[in-house]
Structure 1
Amino acid sequence: MVVESLSPIKNFEIDTYDTDDDGRPRRKGTMVTASAHIITSVIGSGVLSLAWATAQLGWVAGPIVLFGFAAITWYTACLLCDCYRCPGPNFGTRTYNYSGAVKAHLGGMRSKFCGVVQFIYLLGTAIGYTIATPISMAAITRSNCFHKEGHGAGCHTSNNKFVIIFGIIQIFLSQLPDFHNLAFISVVAAVMSFAYSTIGLGLCVATIIKNHNIENTGLIGVKIGEGGLTKSMKVFSVLQAIGDIAFAYSYAPILLEIEDTLKSSPPENEVMKKASMMGIAVTTVFYGLCGLLGYAAFGNEAPGNLLTGFGFYDPFWLVDIANLFVVIHLIGAYQVFIQPTFQIVEEWCKRKWPQNGFIGNEYPVKLCAGIGDFRLNAFRLVWRTTYVAATCVVGMLFPFFNSVLGLLGALAFWPLTLYFPTEMYKKQAGVERFSAAWMRVTVLSVVCLVVSILCAIGSFDGIITSLEKYKPFKFET
């Protein structure tokens, strides 16, 4: 890899033949690439925790909550898809991102609030992936250790070295300029999610056949008194389970950024709705199978993660492969969730300092034959490297951050998934106050607000429990 010339290409100059009508790079996204982005962002390794969530809710409430949030996510996603183009005097103009859509439909103050919530949520998700990926890396080491030393061996290992490896990989990948360059990574990540979910399902079925029964299950899940479970513990576990399922579907914070990668014809909102339907349908099938079959396999003792919580020890090589697929998927998912933050900060800096060469100049870099050229930007290199490094440091410093992420998810779920989409819909469609349509979306928003508050309360319990065992930089499994 060499720099062809020290002469910069100033301010991201782009050949006019390869631009859209607004001067931005021509978009090439399709329903397939958008679906891959959605599946990559939605089907996280959290799919493997749904057996535990089902165990807390039982055979009745578990499926109801799962399919209920699938329907809510699909409905609000359709509302949000229609908000990509501006209403009013600027009708038809692209909004490019979530906060831009809120500004166009609802005004500046709510746009700023949306931007803050979105930034915090995306940052928290990035840190969560920084913690989750090394756990799967370490699980491969532990699986091999269990195979050699026996299932009773501790086989504990520090995850810090895996965080560093993850960070180095992300520093390189984060230099991809924007969402338009992530299609291949998202497709690979989506395939990986199918692969490890399928392996998990296969292992669950094998366990069910081996045990010949599902007696250790119940209509209401784990019962009070079972294993020392108290009433308060039951309440908190149910709230956490509902929160896990609700937030497992959430991709609203990056939906419009994904829609901005689509070609202008056919209309982006129509294609995005089809992609959302495909993504959510595929996700729901895998979520339902993993949750229900995992519960049937392990009953009320279902682990928090089927692969890293060692619901399965053998065949160890298959467990290793599944965890490797999880790692590859989360590497891609991390990029999908941090690109909106990168783009928002970089676009703001370009508007603030349009003549600054450090921010605006790009240098052509010749890559290997057949790959093409790459444009290096000094500000992008420094800023994105710093961001990735910061998420890695926080991940090692606060290894219980997944509990915090649950709280952030609870606080961000309602405004990003319900409030802003329904408010923009009411403004765009001119919905009259107290009409049937107004009542429908308002009641839905209020119900989900209550769910968010309750799940936030449940997350506090997890944070308090984690703080009791907290040791800085002691990230071990």
Structure 2
Amino acid sequence: MESQRPGNFAIETVESDDKTLFDDDGREKRTGNWMTACAHIITAVIGSGVLSLAWAIAQLGWIAGVTALILFSLITLYTSLLLTNFYRFPEPDRGRRNYTYMQAVESYLGIISSPHLSYPVSHFPFFFDVVALIGGFKYKLCGIFQYGNLVGTSIGYTITTALSVGAIITSNCQHKHGRKAKCSASNGLTMVFFGILQILLSQIPNFHKLSGLSILAAVMSFTYSIIGVCLAVIKIAAGNNPRTSLTGVEVGVNVTSQQKIWRSFQALGNIAFAYAYSQDTIKSNPPEVVAMKKATVVGVSVTTIFYMLCGLLGYIAFGSDAPGNFLAGFGYFELTWIVDFANACIVVHLVGAYQVFAQPVYRKMEDWSKQRWPESDFIVREYGIEIPCLGTCNFNGFRVVWRTIYVILTCSLAIMMPFFNNILGLLGACVFWPLTVYFPLEMHIAQNKIPKYSRRWVGLNLLSGACLIVSLLAASGSIQGIITDLKTYRPFMS
């Protein structure tokens, strides 16, 4: 389910009367299959989040760490399979399409005419007013979590980019002046340059049409993940590896008992950190739900394998001293250029990925502003400007100001709180329960008319409640970590 695009950002349409070129919703005919969908899922999920898994396993240890990885994978797989049933309404294989997650929530949890509400509206007007109010609230709540995740991810990507650039600078400095040399890099300054670049990229009105961007992101994410795994294997094979344990970092040796608890909660948030994904490119025959189920199983399985490799091998390689970004742990490595190349891949990936996550926020505000002030030239009018070698580019006053402000805000927050693991943990905690667990289970209950207090209903709500508790614990650990770090952090210092 892709995000809707307002008029001036619409995908180009084919001007033709040939109905074979269009799907039943009037859009260009979708040609994707389960394999292309699987590729999109893997590309979306395997991102910078894999870099923190070695640290998360180090906090939890072999028993809790591996168990958490498996449970989160199984829960994500189960709820993702449920989510494939909500692409169409009212039936999974027929009916109108829900192009966005929010539309699916509105269709199944907020529409009075839903098939699971079989009573005439005229007989119970107050009841249906309440249902509509609750449904509207859930629809808005879903939007808050979704767009909050997009903004938070923009901040997280800014931090990750700065850390990767810093790792490259530090690595080369140590190889030039010796391993014990006091080398550092200003993360804040790097974020400023990253923000300037993003301001320029954000002014491209049709940036989302650059299809090569997702291909580049896929190549980069696979590249640095595979390099990280290979470096961990090389380090393990070299011997003299740090000690690992069943329970992770040891109280009294590595951390205090209080730190152990908070870090364990934070580690759960890091494992929960995942990207929401969806598809609106799959052809209608066979039904999209069939292709998406197959793609989901394969995609989540491949992702789990990568997570296991990065997390477990990273823990074996570094032990309790596993860094927050496990690629940074190879700073002083014989093959410096490989480590630098891996960090460069992260930078290239996140420069484009920032735009992927920022564009829906841009379009939402711009679309709302055009509806609110349709007569304003500042908001609506486009200006064509000739740029040498690039041709004519369209600029809009409001778009320039709004997108610039957004980048400045996200980069400023990243500079104020450049705490990689804490930010990822908080994002994972805030998004995992509502978007990955709660809404899919609630829509499943509504779609299948599962009786209240039945065994199945109780089981699904117990699962939702357990995941809520885990998310709250993870959020508390991450917030505590941010508060602790803010006491000693000084912006623009390395």
Q: Secondary structure at the match of 2:174?
A: helix
Q: Which range moved further: 64-73 or 161-170?
A: 161-170
Aligned to 1:122: 150
C-alpha change, 1:326 and 1:11, in structure 2 (3 Å) is: closer
Query: Contact between 1:30 and 1:271, CA under 8 Å: does it hold in 2?
Result: yes
- Residue 235 in 1 paired to residue 261 in 2? yes
Q: 1:251 aligns with which of 275, 293, 315?
A: 275
Q: Which range moved further: 294-303 or 214-223?
A: 214-223
Gaps of 5+ in 1: 1-8
Cα root mean square deviation, aligned: 3.2
Q: Secondary structure at the match of 2:86?
A: coil
C-alpha change, 1:101 and 1:372, in structure 2 (3 Å) is: farther
Q: Which range moved further: 288-297 or 275-284?
A: 275-284
Q: Which range moved further: 185-194 or 10-19?
A: 10-19
Q: 1:456 aligns with which of 475, 479, 488?
A: 475
Could you tell me which amino acid in structure 1 is paired with residue 466 of structure 2?
V
Could you tell me which amino acid in structure 1 is paired with residue 327 of structure 2?
L
Deviations 1:135-171 (A, max 9, x none): 1012111111011011111211212332233224333
Q: 1:403 aligns with which of 412, 422, 442?
A: 422
Q: Secondary structure at the match of 2:468?
A: helix
C-alpha change, 1:455 and 1:384, in structure 2 (3 Å) is: same
- Residue 224 in 1 paired to residue 251 in 2? yes
How do residues 328-367 of structure 1 correspond to structure 2 at under 5 angstroms? 328-354=348-374, 359-360=379-380
Query: Contact between 2:58 and 2:248, CA under 8 Å: does it hold in 1?
Result: yes
- Residue 304 in 1 paired to residue 324 in 2? yes
1:111 is displaced (CA, Å) by 0.7
C-alpha change, 1:398 and 1:58, in structure 2 (3 Å) is: closer
Query: Contact between 1:364 and 1:376, CA under 8 Å: does it hold in 2?
Result: yes
1:269 is displaced (CA, Å) by 3.3
State the TM-score, normalizing by the size of structure 2.
Answer: 0.82
Q: 2:212 aligns with which of 175, 184, 193?
A: 184
Q: 2:46 aligns with which of 40, 43, 48?
A: 43
Query: Contact between 1:196 and 1:325, CA under 8 Å: does it hold in 2?
Result: yes
C-alpha change, 1:357 and 1:372, in structure 2 (3 Å) is: same
Whole-Å separation in 1 of the counterparts to 2:9 and 2:228: 48
Whole-Å separation in 1 of the counterparts to 2:190 and 2:88: 42
1:123 is displaced (CA, Å) by 0.8
Query: Contact between 1:50 and 1:291, CA under 8 Å: does it hold in 2?
Result: yes
Q: Which range moved further: 168-177 or 198-207?
A: 168-177
1:423 is displaced (CA, Å) by 0.6
Aligned to 1:289: 309
Query: Contact between 2:244 and 2:319, CA under 8 Å: does it hold in 1?
Result: yes
1:266 is displaced (CA, Å) by 4.3
Query: Contact between 1:135 and 1:159, CA under 8 Å: does it hold in 2?
Result: yes
C-alpha change, 1:468 and 1:97, in structure 2 (3 Å) is: same
- Residue 417 in 1 paired to residue 441 in 2? no
Could you tell me which amino acid in structure 1 is paired with residue 163 of structure 2?
I
1:193 is displaced (CA, Å) by 1.4
Aligned to 2:193: 165
Whole-Å separation in 1 of the counterparts to 2:336 and 2:450: 57
Whole-Å separation in 2 of the counterparts to 1:73 and 1:63: 15
How do residues 269-280 of structure 1 correspond to structure 2 at under 5 angstroms? 269-280=289-300
Query: Contact between 2:170 and 2:331, CA under 8 Å: does it hold in 1?
Result: no
1:66 is displaced (CA, Å) by 0.7
1:44 is displaced (CA, Å) by 2.2
Whole-Å separation in 1 of the counterparts to 2:257 and 2:30: 54
Aligned to 1:200: 228
1:271 is displaced (CA, Å) by 3.3
Aligned to 2:122: none
Deviations 1:173-231 (A, max 9, x none): 4456679625421221122111111111111111111116x56111222222223x222
Identical aligned residues as a percent: 51
Could you tell me which amino acid in structure 1 is paired with residue 359 of structure 2?
Q
Q: 2:333 aligns with which of 310, 313, 322?
A: 313
Aligned to 1:5: none
Could you tell me which amino acid in structure 1 is paired with residue 243 of structure 2?
N
Gaps of 5+ in 2: 1-6, 111-135
Deviations 1:72-122 (A, max 9, x none): 11111122222222338xx72223222222122212111112212222221
- Residue 474 in 1 paired to residue 485 in 2? no
Deviations 1:30-70 (A, max 9, x none): 54554444333322223122122112222222221112111
Q: Which range moved further: 359-368 or 393-402?
A: 359-368
Whole-Å separation in 2 of the counterparts to 1:125 and 1:475: 23
Aligned to 2:411: 392
1:455 is displaced (CA, Å) by 1.0
Aligned length: 456
1:386 is displaced (CA, Å) by 2.9
